[in-house]
Each structure stands twice: as structure tokens, then as C-alpha cells.
């Protein structure tokens, strides 16, 4: 089984990022897989974005809505993508999560513009 297979039929991943002091923070998030790459759409003024800007090393694992593990941790490198690649991820997220996407976008709009994180698993 490839490292990517455990993510294919899941709705959430636990994204583990690191603070400057080395403490880890785990956040359950929506994600999409496109061309064997994992994309996470979030808002630019969130803690996870700030932490990734300081340290691109992340871990991800399939999880439930509340963060209960349903897979194994996989290390990766997170980067931010823009333009067509970001738009493709945003559209894929809307297709995967349906009407909830609009609701979440409305509820989080005060946290800035949408930003897309690409996680390349190692």
C-alpha cells in the first residue's frame, strides 16, 4: 500500500504543525487529493498558516471530524500554491464537501482570504 492510499476515502486529516518553541499543534482539516498530491484549503490568518510559514515540516494522518486517528502519521513538506493550482484545489474541495463549503467559507471569512496548502508526503 502506498503512503497516499490511506487518505483516498477519508474526509479529514489531522495536520500537525510546529510552533517556534517546538510544540506541535494538531488540527483536523478538510483536504483533497489531486494527482497524488494533498491540498488543504484554509484562511490566510490562521495559526496553521503562520506555523507553516515558519516551518514547512508537517505530519498528516487520516482522522475523524474530532481528530480521532483512523490511520498512521505520514511526514511531509507543506508549501503554499497560487493561481491555477490553487483554483483547482478550491474547486475540488467544493465538489468533495458540497454545500458545507459555502457555509464554512461564510463562517471563516473574517480570517482573511482563502489560501491553499500543498502537502507533499515523503
Question: For residue range 38-85, what is the model confidence (pLDDT) as tens digits?
Answer: 999 999 999 999 999 999 999 999 999 999 999 999 999 999 999 999
The strands making up 32-34's β-sheet, listed across from edge to edge, are 24-30, 12-18, 57-63, 74-81, 114-121, 37-43, 32-34
Q: Mapping DSSP to helix (H, G, I), strand (E, B) and coil, where does residue 8 land?
A: coil
* Nearest-angstrom CA–CA distance, 3 and 7: 8
Residue 92, CB-side half-sphere exposure with 13 Å CA sphere: 19
- All domains in the chain, ordered by first residue: 5-121 (2.30.110.10)
* pLDDT given at position 106: 62
pTM, rounded to two decimals: 0.91
Of 84 and 2, the one with more pLDDT: 84
Beta strands in 31-99 (DSSP E): 32-34, 37-43, 57-63, 74-81
| Confidence band, pLDDT 50/70/90 cuts, at residue 107 | low
Amino acid at each position: 500500500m502506498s503512503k497516499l492510499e490511506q487518505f483516498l476515502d477519508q474526509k479529514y486529516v489531522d495536520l500537525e504543525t510546529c510552533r517556534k518553541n517546538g510544540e506541535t499543534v494538531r488540527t483536523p482539516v478538510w483536504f483533497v487529493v489531486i494527482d497524488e498530491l494533498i491540498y488543504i484549503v484554509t484562511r490566510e490568518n490562521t495559526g496553521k498558516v503562520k506555523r507553516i510559514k515558519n516551518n514547512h515540516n508537517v505530519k498528516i494522518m487520516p482522522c475523524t471530524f474530532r481528530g480521532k486517528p483512523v490511520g498512521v502519521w505520514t511526514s511531509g513538506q507543506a508549501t503554499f500554491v497560487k493561481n491555477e493550482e490553487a483554483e483547482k484545489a478550491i474547486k475540488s474541495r467544493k465538489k468533495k464537501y458540497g454545500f458545507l463549503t459555502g457555509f464554512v467559507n461564510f463562517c471563516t471569512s473574517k480570517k482573511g482570504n482563502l489560501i491553499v496548502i500543498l502537502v507533499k508526503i515523503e
